Structure 1
Amino acid sequence: MTLSNAHQHIPVHSNKTLIKASVTATVMAIIILVLIILPAEYKVDPTGFGKAAGLTQLADLSEAELEVAEPVESNVVKTQPQEKTVPLAEQPVESRLGFAPPAAHLLTVEQIKAARQTPGVRSDTIDIVIPAGKGLEYKLLIDAYVHLEYEWRTDGQPLYFDFHGEPQGDQSGYYESFAITTATEMKGSLTAPFTGSHGWYWKNKSGTPVTVTLITKGDYRIKG
């Protein structure tokens, strides 16, 4: 077969034929759109064919699925947990004052009574001679908040004295005076504000020795 014979068998469409085919395809697409796609997808049925063919039911089905897929807002209102309000009287002392008070202020009446009834309570009576024109100190070692009862008297001559305490281990020279005066006798009690030595300094300003009789009762050790 020659090349010229092969070309003779290839069909060639005219422009008229191509235009006719394009118009036909367009018309078919419009028909499909109006009769099938619009009723089935958008529930648009201008000809009534979609309803007769059950295509509009497909549109109803699609809308129902869409509603299910959409998130449903809950009517439940979320609330934050509220903190329990504690009455002021039940709050810790630190919360009401804004700071932690000294430990001594936290002692209850029962604790003070217990301190006064310490199993190690002892009682001592001692005579102390204060030389003429001299001073002398007598100390007891007492723990913090422990109760001490005391009584002293001279053999007649008044003495200047300072009843005071010094914190244990303090190197600054600090001391706290509880009573300073001149007298021939004194009686009282003390709840030690801190652990340390507590006692008396007597000053004899006379020209003769003066004897002091000291009576003590409490939980202490004698330092002398």
Structure 2
Amino acid sequence: MESNKTSRSLIKATTLSFVVAMITLVLFILPAEYNIDPTGVGQKLGLTVFNDEGTKPLVTQASDGGQDTAILIVPAGKGIEYKLDMKKFQKATYEWVTDGGDLYVDLHGEPKGDTTGYFESYTIATADEMKGSFTAPFDGSHGWYWKNKSEKDITIQLIFSGDYVIEGLK
């Protein structure tokens, strides 16, 4: 009798462990590692940005219609891109600052549906901080490309607000 009870307990524990593992896989691992997010929870938790090769985000935003913040790391000798989906004439204000190193930055936009590779730059500079605003001249993806030409990783704090849908790291 006790052997039957032990077997049932073992089967219950195994089944429960399997269910928890599957939930963890679908909600957290697939979005973070493979950008597969069938429930949308991974994006809401900011997990889908972790799978971008060559980028190392620390935290990303939780948009509530107010101000959004992203902490990003630009690896030594590499570049990253952070984007917002905006409609024509929507406006965004922004401020970003690094932890001490200069970065090449290109604030630009790419028209929705364009397959030619066209993009329009709004600001190109090398700086360790920047503050401003822009109005989207067309529907599409708008944001920043930062390139770290130094030999050490540089952290960026990006604070922004306006009318957009966050695409995040690209």
TM beyond 0.5: yes
Q: 2:73 aligns with which of 129, 133, 158?
A: 129
Are 2:97 and 1:153 aligned?
A: yes
Give per-residue Cα distances to partners, 1:2-51, cap 9 Å, x unaligned. Answer: xxxxxxxxxxxxxxxxxxxxxxxxxxxxxxxxxxxxxxxxxxxxxxxxxx
Distance 1:180 1:154 in 2: 16
Shift of 1:155: 0.4
Give per-residue Cα distances to partners, 1:111-139, cap 9 Å, x unaligned. Answer: xxxxxxxxx94320110100011111110
Bigger proportion of residues as helix: 1
Give per-residue Cα distances to partners, 1:146-187, cap 9 Å, x unaligned. Answer: 111000010000001100000000111110000111000000
Distance 2:67 2:89 in 1: 18
Larger Rg: 1
Are 2:150 and 1:206 aligned?
A: yes
Counterpart mapping for 1:1-224 below 5 A? 121-224=65-168
* Runs of 4+ in structure 1 over 4 Å off: none
Aligned length in residues = 105
Distance 1:215 1:143 in 2: 20
- Other-structure match for 1:46: none
Query: Normalized against structure 2, the TM-score is what?
Result: 0.60
Query: RCO higher in 1 or 2 (8 Å CA, sep ≥ 6)?
Result: 2
Distance 1:206 1:163 in 2: 20
Distance 2:148 2:135 in 1: 28
Give per-residue Cα distances to partners, 1:81-103, cap 9 Å, x unaligned. Answer: xxxxxxxxxxxxxxxxxxxxxxx
- Other-structure match for 1:32: none
Bigger proportion of residues as strand: 2
Distance 2:90 2:81 in 1: 21
Does the Cα contact within 8 Å between 1:122 and 1:219 map onto a contact in 2? no
Runs (5+) with no aligned partner, structure 1: 1-119
